Amino acid sequence: MPNFLPIAYFQQNFVPFGEAKISIATHALHYGTGAFAGLRCIPDPENDQQVLLFRLDRHCQRLSNSAKLLNHDLPADKIQQIIVEFIKKNQINKSFYIRPFVYTSDLGIAPRLHEIEKDFFVYGLELGDYLSPEGVSCRISSWYRQEDRSLPLRGKISGAYITSSLAKTEAVESGFDEAILMNSQGKVSEASGMNIFIVRNGQLITPGFEQDILEGITRESILIIARNLGIQTVQRPVDKSELFIADEVFLSGTAAKITPVKRIENTHLPANKPMTEKLRDKLIAITENREPNYRDWVYTIPL
């Protein structure tokens, strides 16, 4: 069982984690009418009296936007205030993952978003590497990424993750670490819970928003970092065949950070991954607040 932080934010109060419980009749449990964020909080390597959060403002704004898709007004500054207080109350000087969640908290049975109560909670758990930093194997999933015309993919809507769950289990049970999902047009979309990048001929390439991807914050950060390093970046449709002939492939996300892909299906990718390693080293330095030019991306919280 994960090692959960002792204090949670639940029903507008800070309570012991074990007391933060919902009814089996909760609306969101039945219909997937929730939205979440995920943030990593790490100790400051240079100051053991504070912790660091990467791009807290962007995470809070995306969750606020996701709440709008659920017909709920949850301002980003309120989310940020609660998360900061949550961290201070837990007083944990270890690496951990924070899960804020907005959901329909009513006990009704009609699938709807109007005239129904919403609520917001936050909890956390200790988290190391979500995927092996040495690299992962991937299969092309038989499940396809949803389309934005049928599900609002600009938000992290909880119900959408049934597809991710199916794809992840299919991959693991067939001997792989992770799944790569195509979209309905047959183009590469993303992994089960991560964005995907490929490197070809010195270019860093990633599917654009029109490929039904999540607007990943780590993805956005990598594109900015790459451009600042003088790397040419391209956002465009990616064909399945490109995955097998790419010079490098990696996954990105809050949990995954930057994870190299070693093998796709039966194709082994080159062991030498200079661009992946360069970007990963830079991202780690930024999240640890060791890069002066990116200090505004890192939120410090004294304990």
Q: Is there a single domain that holds both residue 85 and residue 167? A: no
pLDDT tens by residue, 37-72: 999 999 999 998 999 999 999 999 999 999 999 999
pLDDT of residue 128: 81
For residues 157 and 143, give the distance between their C-alpha atoms in angstroms, rounded to a whole number.
Answer: 18
pLDDT tens by residue, 249-300: 999 999 889 999 999 999 999 999 999 999 999 999 999 999 999 999 999 9
**295 within some domain:** no
Main-chain dihedrals φ then ψ at residue 26, nearest 5 degrees: -60, 130
> Is there a contact between 53 and 41 (Cβ–Cβ < 8 Å)?
yes
Q: Which domain holds residue 177?
A: 136-287
Q: Is there a single domain that holds both residue 118 and residue 146? A: no
pLDDT tens by residue, 98-127: 999 999 999 989 999 999 999 999 999 998
Q: Is there a single domain that holds both residue 23 and residue 94? A: yes
pLDDT tens by residue, 5-22: 999 999 999 999 999 999
What distance, in Å, lies between the first and last C-alpha atoms of the chain? Answer: 26
Q: Which of 102, 126, 150 is the last residue of a domain?
A: 126
> What is the average per-residue pLDDT within 67-92?
97
pLDDT of residue 130: 86
Which of the four pLDDT bands, split at 50, 70 and 90, describes residue 1?
confident
Q: Is there a single domain that holds both residue 157 and residue 245? A: yes
pLDDT tens by residue, 128-174: 888 888 999 999 999 999 999 999 999 999 999 999 999 999 999 99
Could you give the number of structural domains in the chain? 2
For residues 119 and 72, give the distance between their C-alpha atoms in angstroms, rounded to a whole number.
Answer: 9
> What is the average per-residue pLDDT within 229-236?
98
Q: Is there a single domain that holds both residue 69 and residue 158? A: no
Q: Is residue 232 helix, strand or coil?
A: strand
Tokens of 240: 């399945």
> What is the average per-residue pLDDT within 75-101?
96
For residues 122 and 39, give the distance between their C-alpha atoms in angstroms, rounded to a whole number.
Answer: 11
Main-chain dihedrals φ then ψ at residue 29, nearest 5 degrees: -65, -35
pLDDT of residue 104: 98
Q: Is there a single domain that holds both residue 150 and residue 283? A: yes
> Is there a contact between 74 and 63 (Cβ–Cβ < 8 Å)?
yes
**Beta carbons within 8 Å of 36's beta carbon, 6+ residues apart:** 63, 66, 99, 100, 101, 102, 156, 158
For residues 8 and 270, give the distance between their C-alpha atoms in angstroms, rounded to a whole number.
Answer: 44
pLDDT tens by residue, 167-206: 999 999 999 999 999 999 999 999 999 999 999 999 999 9
